[in-house]
Amino acid sequence: MSQMILDWSLLAAQLMLGVCMLATLYRMVRGPRAQDRILALDALYVVGLLLLVTLGIRTGSTIYFELAMLIGLLGFVGTVALAKFLMRGEVIE
């Protein structure tokens, strides 16, 4: 019974996060400008992180935690580099 409640609500949450990913992808493809795409990419990283956390609850293993952490770290560094590129046109200066 309680396993069933948990499974269904996790499925609902994962579907909602999937809708999130589609929404960010729409913004990434449509633009219209570069900063909109980067903002959408940043949001996509966060949604991916949350999706991995829900996957971890579903499978009952803490392995996904490390992956979520890694996505968070890479997302931050990537977005900062891209924002810096928008500002100056170069990443390393």
Q: Is 10 a binder of other proteins (CB under 8 A)? A: yes
Q: Which of 63, 69, 74, 91 binds other proteins (CB under 8 A)?
A: 69
Residue 22 C-beta: closest distance to other proteins, Å: 8
Residue 39 C-beta: closest distance to other proteins, Å: 6
Q: Is 56 a binder of other proteins (CB under 8 A)? A: yes
User: Tokens 């909109």 label which residue?
Assistant: 36
Interacting residues of 49 by C-beta distance below 8 A, sequence separation 6+: 68, 71, 72, 75
Q: Is 24 a binder of other proteins (CB under 8 A)? A: yes
Q: Is 67 a binder of other proteins (CB under 8 A)? A: no
**Beta strand residue intervals within the chain, DSSP E:** none
- CA quadruple 23, 26, 32, 38: dihedral, nearest 10: 70
